[in-house]
């Protein structure tokens, strides 16, 4: 008779124990791998690569959270589906993602499911499925289950580990959440070790509101860039609409707007390696590039601003100065020339807005809406969200409005997926036209001078349907 606890190797109980240790072994490998990391990039890659095995996930993302904004730094494996790429390239605000907000405030993990244990879509009244916004995101990605665990460094939520499974890959369980939290804790320890120098630099060189470099760093980087002899560009940026947002919505909304501007400029800097993004002061920002042609800088600025419009109808005016045009100059002179170009762009935009008053003829307005809206949809990236965003931004500007939104409906509630606006500080009454197609809802800003009526409404509804149906 075999005594309890002395089963021979190969016994059924022994095999079960070995299977149960798979998770522990995976976490041990993660601990060893993260201990060998020497840079933040190493930590990102190791966490996502090992996270796929530890969590049995289709995909794992390593995310940074700054100023209530979450963005993906690393994802494994890198997706090729345009729907997933759109999410990877986006940033998320806690105010639009309740689960993210709770994770930041309460340091709690969360789970969401778009399907039940039988693989069938969850119903709107299934409260155990998780946050409706996260479920809508899973539906958009074609995924079945997701979880997120906070990465807490020095008592602060630094980021999160985010994982998804296919619809046929099973649902994440409580045990999976526990493993994700251990993995996040291991990553946090590695970050605290390798990121010490960055934390010190942040205390002395970064803007506390946005996390960007400050004016001192921008000046130093510009001097070094000029000494290199490579083409150096200075991009001076100004936020159009900040005063209006502060006056109408309060300074908290204004601070959120500045943080959003910082996030957009970080994306520009990421697309131009070697670039430094800085907040000069107030609503003034700057980019310093080295070894990049002026045309490349302008193109990257233009495409990024088009892809990530600011909320509340605000916008960024910018000017670019390059040593390829000015010749040898000091850093101060290059900053000054970029500032002059920025004010010139700001005045040009104001003049365009003055002459762009919408026509009062409904037939002509409907024709313009069709032309502009269809062109925007055709030029957008694939997927429902980018097509609806492009359409909403284009027709809002055509109708003289200042803000738009794309929402996803689940039951009687609608959650914002994206918000933005045309670059305008418009006076006078503004209204909102709401359009719906299936589970999607679009809010279009309309000026009081714009023509409305059956023809315009029909054009807007038709374009909404084209954007949704065409994406599928």
Q: Is the pLDDT of residue 7 over 50?
A: no
Q: Rounded to an integer, what is the distance from CA 276 to the centroid of its chain?
A: 19
The residues of the chain that CATH labels 3.30.450.40 are 12-197
Q: Which residues contact 1 (CB under 8 A, 6 or more apart)?
A: none
pLDDT reported for residue 275: 94
pLDDT one-digit tens code per residue, 151-207: 999 899 999 999 999 999 999 999 999 999 999 999 999 999 887 766 666 666 578
Q: How many CB atoms lie within 10 A of CB 215?
A: 15
Q: Is the pLDDT of residue 348 over 80?
A: no
SS3 144: strand
pLDDT reported for residue 145: 96
Give the pLDDT mean for 9-32. 56
From the candidate CATH numbers 3.40.50.12280, 3.30.70.270, 2.30.42.10, 3.40.640.10, the one assigned to the domain spanning 208-355: 3.30.70.270
Higher pLDDT, 123 or 397: 123
pLDDT reported for residue 285: 96
Averaged pLDDT of the chain: 83
Cβ(198)–Cβ(252) below 8 Å: no
Percent residues over pLDDT 70 in the chain: 87
The CATH superfamily of 12-197 is GAF domain (3.30.450.40)
What value, to the nearest 5°, has the Cα angle with vertex 301 and ends 296 and 305?
A: 150
pTM of the model: 0.44
pLDDT reported for residue 15: 35
Strands 156-166 and 110-113: unpaired
The residues of the chain that CATH labels 3.30.70.270 are 208-355
Q: How far is CA 103 from CA 127, 242, 362, in A?
A: 18, 29, 48
**Confidence label for 360 from pLDDT (cuts 50, 70 and 90):** low
Assign residue 366 a region (left: φ > 0; alpha: ψ between -120 and 50; beta: otherwise).
alpha
Percent residues over pLDDT 90 in the chain: 40
For residues 54 and 27, what is the distance between their CA atoms, to the nearest angstrom? 7
400-410 sheet: strands from edge to edge: 413-420, 400-410, 440-447, 430-437
Structure-block tokens of residue 420 = 């933005």
**Confidence label for 143 from pLDDT (cuts 50, 70 and 90):** very high
pLDDT reported for residue 54: 92
């Amino acid at each position: 008779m075999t005594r309890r606890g002395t089963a021979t190797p190969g016994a059924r109980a022994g095999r079960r124990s070995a299977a149960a240790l798979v998770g522990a072994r995976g976490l041990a490998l993660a601990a060893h791998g993260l201990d060998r990391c020497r840079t933040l990039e190493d930590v990102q890659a190791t966490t996502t690569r090992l996270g796929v095995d530890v969590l049995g996930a289709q995909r794992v993302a390593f995310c940074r959270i700054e100023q209530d904004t979450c963005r993906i730094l690393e994802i494994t494996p890198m997706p090729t589906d345009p729907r997933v790429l759109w999410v990877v390239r986006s940033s998320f605000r806690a105010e639009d993602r309740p689960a993210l907000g709770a994770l930041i405030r309460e340091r709690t993990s969360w789970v969401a499911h778009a399907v039940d244990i039988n693989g069938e879509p969850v119903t709107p009244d299934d409260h155990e499925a998780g946050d409706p916004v996260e479920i809508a995101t899973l539906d958009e990605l074609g995924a079945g289950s997701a979880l997120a665990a906070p990465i807490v460094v020095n008592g602060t939520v630094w980021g999160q580990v985010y994982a998804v499974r296919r619809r046929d890959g099973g649902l994440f369980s409580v045990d999976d959440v526990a493993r994700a939290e251990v993995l996040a804790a291991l990553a946090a320890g590695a970050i605290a070790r390798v990121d010490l120098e960055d934390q010190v630099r942040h205390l002395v060189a970064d803007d506390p509101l946005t996390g960007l470099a400050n004016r001192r760093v921008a000046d130093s980087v510009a001097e070094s860039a000029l000494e290199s002899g490579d083409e150096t560009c200075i991009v001076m940026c100004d936020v159009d609409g900040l005063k209006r947002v502060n006056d109408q919505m309060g300074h908290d909304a204004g601070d959120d707007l500045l943080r959003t501007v910082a996030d957009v400029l970080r994306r520009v800097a990421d697309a131009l390696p070697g670039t430094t993004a800085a907040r000069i002061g107030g609503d003034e920002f700057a980019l310093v590039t080295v070894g990049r042609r002026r045309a490349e800088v302008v193109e990257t600025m233009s495409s990024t601003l088009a892809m990530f419009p600011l909320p509340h109808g605000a916008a960024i005016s910018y000017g670019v100065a390059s040593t390829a045009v000015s010749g040898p100059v000091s850093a101060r002179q290059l900053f000054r020339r970029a500032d002059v170009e920025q004010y010139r762009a700001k005045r040009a935009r104001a003049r365009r807005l003055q002459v762009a008053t919408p026509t009062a003829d409904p037939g002509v307005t409907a024709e313009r809406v069709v032309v502009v809206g269809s062109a925007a949809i055709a030029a957008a990236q694939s997927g429902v969200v980018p097509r609806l965003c492009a359409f909403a931004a284009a027709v809002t500007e055509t109708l003289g409005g200042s803000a738009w939104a794309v929402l996803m409906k689940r039951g009687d509630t609608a959650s914002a997926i994206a918000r933005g606006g045309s670059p305008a500080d418009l006076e006078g009454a503004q209204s909102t036209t709401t359009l719906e197609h299936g589970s999607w809802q679009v809010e279009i800003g309309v000026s009081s001078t714009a023509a409305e009526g059956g023809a315009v409404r029909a054009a807007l509804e038709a374009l909404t349907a084209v954007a949704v149906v065409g994406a599928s």
